Structure 1
């Protein structure tokens, strides 16, 4: 019999206060939410370089993990590219676990207590998202934000796919994109001379000598401690899948600071990224021009910060501006909510388009972080993929040596974004695009293998393509990162290359 986690119980109690009509649906959604999170956790346990996993033994019936303390953890075969919830229970020695938080607690690994709490939040929030969401309509969305609101379960591979600690049930319902709210952003006035501004700050967000900085209401209440006064002359907008970025109807997208931990990261906006935004945006247009019209990169219209990651905003054009008559611009993460990926020819065509663009830019010297949130696909009227749109340049990587080799002028960039490390460049692209966007769209190792096998032979032969074809596939070790607070930054796993093996 399942004993509810503290997070499940807390959400149920809050739900009884603010939305009692959802209580029964929430309770019914909990088992599926546990399975979804447990499946993501099993992928991590099976494939990430966790220091307390001493060995792995794969057999026809499943996978056995030998832990460093002598215990054994077993479960079904672990497809690292599967997105469906298929792991209902795992066995630790003689005990069986269907709750990911309870399993991590029983593992008693370093930093496991806080991670288990986050898994409990992920399960509870996932159940809340599923409970509050009606079945998807047959018609495709009209507005760009409606595509993003179709994504109910969050990150396809992260066990913390819906972890939102610090958000009450009322706040999740009010701000979570899957709940379809309209969010009133505050406008905090700051003297222009006290701000760092990159690009051109819009006139409609100015008041004389002051800038009006859009602020998320959660940030205003919990971080800035000014929950009411900035909202009388605010902006109504629709939250996108990142939660902190919102679409203004008929206008731009506003990226706001949100100093809360969502999945892996605290969502503030660094002063560094604000300072680089205009340079990167201009540079990105020169890159897009070299893709023969296959890629658009959204422009940053303006960015500003009061020299604080807690009070900053970016104004970015909507990807929808790149749709021609009859076309739709769809975030890759939302493709799984359509029937398109279930067609092998469509999936192969999409993989070919995405790899052509990604590898061409990598050869030039730029590695995109092309996961399902940053990468969008332009669909023709018949649903075929014709072009790509990329947004949010904050985490790309730029290689001065590669740019110089191709005669591309190097912009004035500094910091972590600049590197000539070839493994780092390839990890950035392959980990986000192949192990992320393409795998999440395919939904299984078998479907991903079929799409890559059809697309890869048609691509130009480069050293990067050879690495993609012949080496393990890099992916961020998301669970290891959450269990390594003393070693910040990205950690990586080497996944079985679907072009080399059928055994997962």
Structure 2
């Protein structure tokens, strides 16, 4: 019986047709990519509240997971903060599993088949990303060059590089790690049919029409319409956000599932852009110059999440002579976090800012993509830059208590619940950006222990110090398509 080719084989076939010189490197990267995704999956199995795992038995040298169907899954102890691919195989009863997609298929749990397909895509795309990586050792001079150095995507999500819907040719043409130049286009829409927030530039106006920037993948696959040529641009970490000539960044709609979410732009996000920019300016004044927010210059929606765009400042606006700004996700490429003193200083800076804003009433989604650090010429972390306010949480009660007028917003961004606010900040900043930069529970614990004594005491700091760390249950969310919103797990506190 003829079987369809595996995802890895299909990618190899496409690569042989469009970039044959890259095929040997892709093949060589596959085992490491499988281990990287398997490590992320094993972390989830060990630490997330998955309903079909009925018990976890920690032995002296290994971990055993009891499954609801009576089988047992054996593997190494799972460091919830490790970023190295240390899991090369696990054992399901007596059968060794080295492929995360095959393991998920063998587990035979609800919605596991679709998730297995995502894992297979993640492995193949990750191998392709690593195969195409060829970065100079010198530090980049442009902000977008830093973003191209990150090959692996989310440090803890098993779907870290899943790009279903993208052919190999499209990954090479649009993925930032492949260093392409993307020719953006514009689609004309009557101004009367558009929702606009902020100032939409004259360059993107044509009489009574507004020109909405569009990603070529979106135009070809979703809009299925022609578009006028616009600027060449460099894709950033989020792939759908690109750096324009002259420095500004444009966030485009990309209606395809990447990692976990479909990356369109809601009307809510467009409406919120201007008041959030104003809030960011108010908050900057409350952080003693340690944090800047990139301003949204203008946002537009053709009343469709599939046709919308935002224009933002480049983070480079907030650098001085000799300074560099880079996303936290790119710090691992610098070697700086390997020095405990540097990691402690960065942790101290990040927590000072994050906890101060939490007290004021704003919980940042401060993961490694949204949070950037400004480095002095010698690598010292000076201050932070935050971009993309579309998923923060705002407490009107706390803002009012501190004399800040809450923005005129309702909906998902607004929440006074203390648990929601702490989960947002701690889950993204501590269990995300700081953990991913430190690379292990031991290194994260050391950095936190060195930084925490220097921080101002308060309820947020006490909660961070005393309790487990909240983190998004990323695999549970992918296996629970009928449950909207975030789901959470509690990770061991690395300071314990």
Indicate whether 1:161 and 2:157 are aligned: no
Select which of 202, 211, 227 maps to 1:230. 227
Structure 2 Cα separation of the partners of residues 67 and 9 of structure 1: 31
CA RMSD of aligned residues (A): 1.1
Structure 2 Cα separation of the partners of residues 77 and 483 of structure 1: 23
Check whether the contact 1:352–1:456 (CA below 8 A) recurs between aligned residues: yes
Structure 2 Cα separation of the partners of residues 210 and 405 of structure 1: 43
Check whether the contact 1:5–1:120 (CA below 8 A) recurs between aligned residues: no
Task: Give runs of aligned pairs for residues 333-372 of structure 1, distance below 5 A.
Answer: 333-372=329-368
Structure 2 Cα separation of the partners of residues 288 and 369 of structure 1: 16
Q: List, as ranges, runs of 4+ consecutive aligned residues in structure 1 with deviation greater than 6 Å.
A: none
Q: What does residue 290 of structure 1 align with? A: 286
Task: Give runs of aligned pairs for residues 1-400 of structure 1, distance below 5 A.
Answer: 6-134=6-134, 136-226=135-225, 229-231=226-228, 233-400=229-396
Deviates more, 1:403-412 or 1:413-422: 403-412
State the Cα distance separating 1:251 from its structure 2 match. Answer: 2.7
Check whether the contact 2:34–2:123 (CA below 8 A) recurs between aligned residues: yes
Tell me, what secondary structure is at the counterpart of 1:259? strand
Tell me, what secondary structure is at the counterpart of 1:65? strand
TM-score by length of 1: 0.97
State the Cα distance separating 1:5 from its structure 2 match. Answer: 7.0
State the Cα distance separating 1:133 from its structure 2 match. Answer: 1.7
Check whether the contact 2:243–2:250 (CA below 8 A) recurs between aligned residues: yes
State the Cα distance separating 1:22 from its structure 2 match. Answer: 1.3
Structure 1 Cα separation of the partners of residues 410 and 157 of structure 2: 30
Indicate whether 1:497 and 2:493 are aligned: yes
Check whether the contact 2:231–2:245 (CA below 8 A) recurs between aligned residues: no
Deviations 1:294-328 (A, max 9, x none): 00000000000000000000000000110000100
Tell me, what secondary structure is at the counterpart of 1:416? coil
State the Cα distance separating 1:249 from its structure 2 match. Answer: 2.3
Indicate whether 1:444 and 2:444 are aligned: no
State the Cα distance separating 1:34 from its structure 2 match. Answer: 0.3
State the Cα distance separating 1:382 from its structure 2 match. Answer: 0.8
Structure 2 Cα separation of the partners of residues 15 and 4 of structure 1: 17
Tell me, what secondary structure is at the counterpart of 2:223? coil
Task: Structure 1: give runs of 5+ residues left out of the alignment.
Answer: none
Structure 2 Cα separation of the partners of residues 130 and 302 of structure 1: 35
Structure 1 Cα separation of the partners of residues 345 and 193 of structure 2: 49
Structure 1 Cα separation of the partners of residues 353 and 233 of structure 2: 31
Structure 1 Cα separation of the partners of residues 223 and 16 of structure 2: 29
Structure 1 Cα separation of the partners of residues 132 and 357 of structure 2: 41
Structure 2 Cα separation of the partners of residues 273 and 490 of structure 1: 18
Deviations 1:462-495 (A, max 9, x none): 1111110011100111100000000021000100
Check whether the contact 1:295–1:357 (CA below 8 A) recurs between aligned residues: yes
Structure 2 Cα separation of the partners of residues 418 and 159 of structure 1: 30
Tell me, what secondary structure is at the counterpart of 1:370? coil
Deviates more, 1:55-64 or 1:435-444: 55-64
Structure 2 Cα separation of the partners of residues 5 and 456 of structure 1: 52
Check whether the contact 1:5–1:101 (CA below 8 A) recurs between aligned residues: no
Tell me, what secondary structure is at the counterpart of 1:389? strand
Structure 2 Cα separation of the partners of residues 68 and 288 of structure 1: 51
TM-score by length of 2: 0.98
How many residues of Structure 1 are paired with residues of Structure 2 in the alignment? 494
State the Cα distance separating 1:406 from its structure 2 match. Answer: 1.3
Check whether the contact 2:266–2:305 (CA below 8 A) recurs between aligned residues: yes
Check whether the contact 1:29–1:127 (CA below 8 A) recurs between aligned residues: yes
Task: Structure 2: give runs of 5+ residues left out of the alignment.
Answer: none
Structure 2 Cα separation of the partners of residues 460 and 60 of structure 1: 39
Structure 1 Cα separation of the partners of residues 377 and 22 of structure 2: 37
Deviations 1:43-84 (A, max 9, x none): 111001101110111122111111111110010110000001
Tell me, what secondary structure is at the counterpart of 1:310? coil
